[in-house]
A and B are shown apart, each in its own frame.
Chain A
Amino acid sequence: MTTTAIRFDEVTLGYGRRPAVHHLDGEIAAGSLTAVVGPNGAGKSTLLKGIVGTLRPLEGQIRLGGAANAAIAYLPQAAEIDRSFPLSVYDLVAMGLWSRSGLFGSVSRKDRTRIEQALAAVGLIGFERRSISTLSGGQMQRALFARLLLQDSPVILLDEPFTAIDAKTTADLLDVVRRWHAEDRTVVAVLHDLDLVKRVFPQTLLIAREPVAWGETSGVLSAENLLKARRMVEAYDPHASACYRGAA
């Protein structure tokens, strides 16, 4: 029996009144491995922000099966992190313990072991004391994956995790993603590399503000659907009027 991890009820997300994700309806099964693809400006990152709860829907509802917002592990696009801040790799990774340690909780010996294990899993042993400002793009992404590992969350959202990352790092981090999938965690990743999606992700949501297709990856990523998505996202009406779809 499959249970639902995330359910979208006619969800519209956006900025101001303009929707970035328009009337999305459907669900992501618990333990599934889903890719979210679409052209730039299609609303992919916005969708993840909606699931995490940092952006409230303009309309509709996003329901989480069991997991609270705070229990979701979320990897935002790397550009949103201040790399100039004087912080060590170890401390960055240790932030993944937030849900357990919170404001005051001390980091126990068991936690230290877990931090070391997470660093080892992403190949960053020996980098503990390095400042995050000295890391390459790939090393930074490895560190952020280690933080996700520590969060130990049933639902993991990744926003363009492999953009500008070399092949070796991508392969290593994909192993981590496969391991999460094997552990029955729900993983949703925004991706641009369609070959990678076809190889690794069984489920795909193709989105271009409106959902275009959703289901088995092979069926969703047809040439016809991709063309449709590109056309939809290029269409932009500066004089759009109010939408009453679903208002019965």
Chain B
Amino acid sequence: MLELFYSPFGEFEFMQRAVVGVIAIALGGGPIGVFLMLRRMSLTGDAMAHAILPGAAIGYLFAGLSLPALTVGGLFAGVIVAVAAGLVSRFTSLKEDASLAAFYLLSLALGVTIVSLRGSNVDLLHVLFGTVLALDDNALLLLASISTVTFLALAVLYRPLVLECVDPTFLRSVSRAGTPTHLIFLGLVVLNLVGGFHALGTLLAVGMMMLPAAAARFWSSDITMMMILSVLIGIVSGISGLLLSFHAELPAGPAIILSAGIVYVGSLILGREGGLLWLAWPGKHLEA
């Protein structure tokens, strides 16, 4: 029985690489997802994942499915959209969700058009759903670097990030760190999405951020705990998704996100912090 768990990873190098990849993605994406959720920007992550597409597509147009070209292109497009949407919402009357929706729809249409200029359906699938089972050394190094940068940056930005969520007016009154913090945070979101994009594609990359974070919210109301849980849920979902895909011959990316989805639905039902079961049967009320 146990063999079902470790034999795929013992026998096949591509599975070992995939595990390292999903662990790196979970380490970076987990805490970022928690902050996206607490900042009520869950859909922003989704929008930005789409925004990466035209950049990656331009990279593809020039260099085919090459790691550096897709990465640089995706980063470039993601940062432009993130910064442009952030600035539009800060300095005009349009709210961030609306400005992001405008930018990401534009970039999604542009991205699909560019890929279809040259690519086959296989290439389009690669870009949209990633290739977690074909991560080479460079891709793994990239993913590991991204999670390292994310950890370091979050350690530096932790206080202003929390302050900007709870009481942005207070932060603006004591410091000018608000706008740079927001922009650097958006940069980290893009960075993690670009990393996730190689493994899971533009459409599913955001799943490894938001599903673990949303599930973690049902188990703790402490930010640190939420980030730890989010990372652990990401790692568990990643590994079980890979196993599911291996044994049931399912596509790996969707299997990983489905696993995270199962954890999310389980947490939604059972979670101690506002899960459905606890809401339905809260127990007898307490003394006043």
Q: Which residues of chain B have C-beta atoms less than 8 A from A76's C-beta? A: 167, 169-170, 173
CB distance from B146 to the nearest CB of A (A): 22
Tell whether, in the assembled complex, residue A70 and residue B175 are in contact, meaning their CB atoms are under 8 Å apart.
yes
Q: Which residues of chain B have C-beta atoms less than 8 A from A147's C-beta? A: 170
Q: Which residues of chain B have C-beta atoms less than 8 A from A133's C-beta? A: 221
Which of chain B's residues 155-177 have a Cβ closer than 8 Å to chain A? 156-157, 159-160, 162-163, 165-170, 172-175, 177
Tell whether, in the assembled complex, residue A86 and residue B175 are in contact, meaning their CB atoms are under 8 Å apart.
no
Tell whether, in the assembled complex, residue A86 and residue B174 are in contact, meaning their CB atoms are under 8 Å apart.
no
> What is the bound-complex CA distance between A95 and B169, given in angstroms?
13
Which of chain B's residues 25-83 have a Cβ closer than 8 Å to chain A? 38
Assess whether A139 is interfacial by the CB under 8 Å rule.
Answer: no
The stretch from A21-29, A77-85, A204-212, A235-243 touching chain B is: A77-85
CB distance from B93 to the nearest CB of A (A): 9
Assess whether A52 is interfacial by the CB under 8 Å rule.
Answer: yes
Assess whether B222 is interfacial by the CB under 8 Å rule.
Answer: yes
Closest B residue to A99 by beta carbon equals B174
Q: Given A74-B170, A95-B170, A103-B156, A85–B165 Cβ distance below 8 Å? A: yes
Contact of B177 (CB < 8 Å), options: A81, A95, A103, A104: A103
Assess whether B133 is interfacial by the CB under 8 Å rule.
Answer: no
Q: Which residues of chain A have C-beta atoms less than 8 A from B173's C-beta? A: 52-54, 69-70, 72, 74, 76
Which of chain A's residues 145-174 have a Cβ closer than 8 Å to chain B? 147, 151
Tell whether, in the assembled complex, residue B174 and residue A103 are in contact, meaning their CB atoms are under 8 Å apart.
no
Q: Which residues of chain A have C-beta atoms less than 8 A from B163's C-beta? A: 95, 98
Assess whether B204 is interfacial by the CB under 8 Å rule.
Answer: no
Closest B residue to A86 by beta carbon equals B221
Assess whether A125 is interfacial by the CB under 8 Å rule.
Answer: no
Residues 73-114 of A, flagged 1 when their CB comes within 8 A of B and 0 if not, give 010100011100111000010010011001110000000000
Q: Which residues of chain A have C-beta atoms less than 8 A from B175's C-beta? A: 70, 98, 102
Assess whether A131 is interfacial by the CB under 8 Å rule.
Answer: yes
> What is the bound-complex CA distance between A87 and B163, given in angstroms?
10
CB distance from A99 to the nearest CB of B (A): 6
Tell whether, in the assembled complex, residue A81 and residue B174 are in contact, meaning their CB atoms are under 8 Å apart.
no
Tell whether, in the assembled complex, residue B172 and residue A81 are in contact, meaning their CB atoms are under 8 Å apart.
no
> What is the bound-complex CA distance between A81 and B159, given in angstroms?
16
Q: Given A70-B175, A95-B163, A103-B160, A86–B223 Cβ distance below 8 Å? A: yes
Q: Which residues of chain B have C-beta atoms less than 8 A from A132's C-beta? A: 166
Q: Which residues of chain B have C-beta atoms less than 8 A from A82's C-beta? A: 165-167
Closest A residue to B166 by beta carbon equals A85
> What is the bound-complex CA distance between A136 and B165, given in angstroms?
20
> What is the bound-complex CA distance between A72 and B170, given in angstroms?
10
Q: Given A54-B169, A81-B167, A103-B156, A87–B174 Cβ distance below 8 Å? A: no
Residues 121-147 of A, flagged 1 when their CB comes within 8 A of B and 0 if not, give 000000000011100000000000001
Interface residues of A (CB under 8 A from B): 52-54, 69-70, 72, 74, 76, 80-82, 85-87, 92, 95, 98-99, 102-104, 131-133, 147, 151
The 4 closest A-B CB pairs, nearest first, are: A86-B221, A74-B173, A76-B169, A85-B166
Interface residues of B (CB under 8 A from A): 38, 156-157, 159-160, 162-163, 165-170, 172-175, 177, 220-223, 226
> What 7 additional pairs, Cβ within 8 angstroms, besides A54-B172, A81-B167, A98-B159?
A70-B175, A80-B167, A82-B165, A85-B38, A86-B226, A87-B162, A95-B167
- Listed A/B pairs (7) with beta-carbon separation below 8 Å: A54-B169, A69-B173, A70-B173, A80-B168, A98-B174, A102-B175, A103-B159
